[in-house]
Amino acid sequence: MERVADGVWLLQGDLRNSMNIYFIEDGDGVVQFDAGSKAMAKKARATGEELGGVSRVVLGHAHPDHRGTAPSIGAPVYCHPDEVEEAESDASLWPYLDLSMLPAPARWIFPTLLRRWDGGATKIAGTIAEGNEVAGFRVLHFPGHAPGQIGLWRESDRVALVSDVVYLLDSARLGKPLPAGEASVPHPAWSWDHAKAKESVRKLAALEPKVVAAGHEEPLRGENLRETLERAAEKY
Ligand SMILES: [Zn+2]
């Protein structure tokens, strides 16, 4: 487990340790933000218990590698209203994703990987949207990669937990990490609406974050990540 910021912990696992689950201290326990892949379930449960117990799971979005542990944590699961249908469905590959746009072999391998990462249908206990508060963070809506993609923002130390608003790995290949200090808007194959995905990366840039902790790979850090993120919005 790695300390990302005051009261924020990161658990990494699965494929090259590139899948991220965050735990945010909240009262006597923690809120779990994102749920990684199914293979991380045992480690996620142990981590949540070690930190005082998970009061609720908040999904950044409902893709298989972000809802994987959600059904097995034993806490109520929340997401944005626009993610409820996908979260509660059995489908591992949601129809708006067009993986045929990816180069080979990624376009052939990802469907299998998505099924393997998936923890399956997840009952949603309630919804959260922009303006709500989660464990001292403000919820922001970043639609594009998924319609109900959300992030968590804490102004006091400029920390953003952003799920897949940006990738710190190469989303057109099999998840090779990007060079240190680089970020990217998701490849269009991974977008519900690519134009909105680019806008959302710019919205994140305008916050001038110092820490961008994403759904995959190590958090990005800098005094002001605005320029890095503005460049990231233009990658695809
Ligand atoms: Zn995703």
User: Cβ atoms within 10 A of the Cβ of 224, count?
Assistant: 12
pTM attached to this predicted model? 0.97
Q: Are 106 and 174 contacting, i.e. CB atoms less than 8 angstroms apart? A: yes
What number of CA atoms fall less than 13 Å from residue 145's CA on the CB side? 27
Reported as a single tens digit per residue, the pLDDT across 109-121 is: 999 999 999 999 9
185 C-alpha to center of ligand 1: Å? 11
Ligand 1 geometric centre to CA of 180 (Å): 21
Give the environment of ion ligand 1: residues with CB less than 5 A. Answer: 63, 164
**Separation of alpha carbons 180 and 166, rounded Å:** 14
pLDDT in tens, 158-216: 999 999 999 999 988 877 899 999 999 999 999 999 999 999 999 999 999 999 999 99
- How many whole angstroms from 28 Cα to the centroid of ligand 1? 30
* Closest by Cα among 150, 168, 146 to 212: 168
The tens digit of pLDDT for each residue in 18-43 reads: 999 999 999 999 999 999 999 999 99
The percentage of residues in the chain with a pLDDT greater than 90, rounded to a whole number, is 94
Query: In Å, how far are 21, 89, 187, 223 from 14, measured between CA atoms?
Result: 11, 23, 22, 30
Cα of 54 vs its chain's centroid, Å: 18
Identify whether the C-beta of residue 204 lies closer than 8 Å to the C-beta of residue 165: yes
